[in-house]
Structure formats: C-alpha cells, structure tokens
A = this chain, B = another copy of it.
Amino acid sequence: MNENIAIRKLGRRLRLGIAGGAGHSLIGPVHREAARLDDLFSLDAAVLSSNAERGDAEAAALGIPRSYSSTAEMFAMEKARPDGIEAVAIATPNDSHYRILCEALDAGLHVICDKPLTSTKAEADDVLVRAKAAGKVVVLTHNYSGYAMVRQARAMVAAGELGKIHQIHGVYALGQMGRLFEADEGGVPPGMRWRIDPARGGDSHALVDIGTHVHHLATFITQLQVVEVMADLGPAVQGRAAHDSANVMFRMENGAFGSFWATKAASGASKLAIEVYGDKGGVLWEQADANNLLHMRQGQPPALIGRQVAGLHPAAIRAMRGPGYHFVEGYREAFANMYVDFAEQILAMMGKGAADHLALEAPSVVDGLRSMAFIEACVASSQDRQWRQVEQVS
C-alpha cells in the first residue's frame, strides 16, 4: 500500500543522494534496497567512499548517475542543478554524522540518518536547533521501530490495551561469527577493530551500538521517557579496553520499572527482545520471531498476534506489504518503513497532501537527542556508581 506514493502524489520519484555505503559497508546496501522497495526515491547522487576513486567506481557499478568526492561538494553541486537531490541518506561512520547533518541542513536537504545522531549530546542539541531553523525533515533510522509488530505494540499501549505501564525489560545480545566481540579477537575483521577502540568508538561501545536500540524501542512502544538511570558498563571479556557490555536499570516518567542488558560478548547468541507490562496485560516481541507479538492477558491465555489476524491496529497494517499480510518479512521491510515515513513527511512539506499522522511517529532528531542524553547519563552513572537523572527533551 506504500508503493509509489511519490509518483501518485508528486508525479515522480523523490531525488535522493547518499553518503557512505561502499565496499564492505554493512548498512549501505540496506539503505539502497530499503529506498527501492516501494519505488519512492531515485538514487541520483552519492559520496560512497572517502576514497574518491573507489567511490566513483562503485557508483558506476551501482548505476548511480553522479558521484562526488565529498559531501560538501555533492551538496553544492546538486543545489546548482534544477534536478538536484532533495534528500540525503547518511550511512557513514558515526563520528561524521554531525558534520554531514549540519552541511545537509544548511544545503536545504531533507535527511535520513543512521543512529547515533551525533557523538555527543551537545552536538545533538545543536542539530535540533538547526533542523527546526531549516524546516526540513530529519528521520533517524532506529529501524526496529519499523517492524509491523513493534508498531502494533505501540498502538496497543496507546489504545490502553495494556493498562497503565509499570514494567519494561529488554535485551540485545550478540556473539555470533563476524561480530565485534569474540573470545578470540582474531575473529574480528580488521576493518571493524576501530569500533572497539574506546578512543575512536566512544565511551561505551555496547551501549552506543546496540543498547540505544533497546532504549528507543522502550520509549517508542510506551511513549514514556526515561528519567533516571543506573548503569554498569564495561568489558566482560578480560584484557579488553572497550565496553562490550552494558547493564542498565531505569525508571520511566510515570514511575515504571525498567532494565535492559546489551552485550557483544554473548558467545554464539543473537537476540533482540523487549517486553512491556501494564496492569491489564503485556507484550513480548523478539526480532528472531519478528512477525509475531505475544500478548499476555490477565485472566486469559496469551494470544499470538501475527500479520494475518483480524483486528490489527492501522499502524501495524500500514507497516506491512501483502499478499494478504500473511507472509513473513524482516529487516528490509522494517527499514523500508523508515523511508516510507521519510517520503510521506517530505511530500506533506511539499504541499502534496497531509502525511499519514502515523508517519510522524518516525524516529526524529528529538529521539536522537534523547538517546544522547540517555547515553551520557548512563556513562556518568557507571563511572560514579550512582543513579543519574536523564535530561528531558521536550
């Protein structure tokens, strides 16, 4: 139902540029495929690599018409064209997000950016100011919020089906082949080793890289903010400097209890899950079984909500593609939903009809800022071993 809404509303695809994604990039192909799934964007320009020659070659091989040597160049040159890009996807290493976000907003572009938004909360504050001033759409790819069953969970909470929320617990545990933390570091690909260097990868790798996804899911589903944290961050595998593990307890603005653990030292494991309870019931979602949502119900057997059942909330139906909603889908559909929301917001801003109000729930700069505030509070809490208030963003 999302296919070609740009053509239907605007008469053409939206023109997209991309920064990053060459070679062995994990997320670059995902951006391109997600942008293509519903045929909403044409990928017209790119800075695929910091190595211009390599970037040009890749762009040619991918059929991208225009390749540039820097984002600054891309934004300047595209602005000068009548058919220049209107939006940009940022899929570069984390420490470049802030700079490219500033450049893109200055160039009047809409932006879809990988998380984390920035490297520090101060930078995130600045991006929020700039985004508001520019009046442009900024969507953050907290892509797990794009799963239909995660959106169903959010809608159930909003409809009061779980009652008053009082418990939130999650986990993100990795440890399979090719992951960053293996018992034998020899298994970590050389090109990824910088990530676990605290000087380059940040104060708490497990928290920044995967823990923040759990944080976002908790706030996305419950529509409540975290107000206080108690964290225990550090390396679980001895002899390592980087924080491969994060244990966090927290309280929400309504007093609800929360906790999660995130680690890249769970040898042989791969698990992302969140569960939320209120006084009427609870929900459990696991990425490994992404097409189902287990609904715990007081005094009744749990129900297994899936893509095909009657009575799904519109927010879930909107996040699914057919046939008949009855087939399994995964990461790409969820990621593509980020692009659908991005397109809908852009089209609305162009005056091409109102965006579905549900598209406005896509992760935004405010979410990115909240993540940074959360991370900084966790790091401080872990360092001084005290509960810490989380600065609230409104």
* A328 pairs with B267, CB closer than 8 A: no
Q: How many residues of A contact B (CB 8 A)?
A: 102
Chain A, 288-330, CB within 8 A of any chain B CB: 288-291, 294-306, 308-311, 321-324, 326-330
Please give, as numbers and ranges, the residues of chain B lying within 8 Å of A321 by CB-CB distance: 29-30, 33, 332
* B302 pairs with A268, CB closer than 8 A: yes
Q: Is A237 an interface residue (CB 8 A)?
A: yes
Q: Is A230 an interface residue (CB 8 A)?
A: yes
Which A residues are closer than 8 A to B by beta carbons? 3-4, 7-8, 12-13, 26-27, 29-30, 32-33, 36-39, 61-63, 162-164, 166-167, 169, 171, 173-179, 182-183, 187, 230, 232, 234, 236-238, 245, 247, 249, 251, 255-259, 261, 263, 265-270, 277-282, 287-291, 294-306, 308-311, 321-324, 326-333, 385-387
Contact residue among B3, B176, B232, B332 (Cβ-Cβ distance under 8 Å from A257): B232
Closest beta carbon of chain B to A82's beta carbon, Å: 20
Please give, as numbers and ranges, the residues of chain B lying within 8 Å of A38 by CB-CB distance: 33
* A288 pairs with B328, CB closer than 8 A: yes
Q: In the bound complex, how far is the Cα of B167 from the Cα of A61, in angstroms?
A: 44
* A30 pairs with B322, CB closer than 8 A: yes
Known contacts A268-B298, A299-B311; 10 additional CB pairs below 8 A are: A33-B37, A166-B265, A176-B309, A187-B299, A230-B232, A236-B257, A300-B311, A301-B309, A302-B304, A321-B332
* A268 pairs with B282, CB closer than 8 A: yes
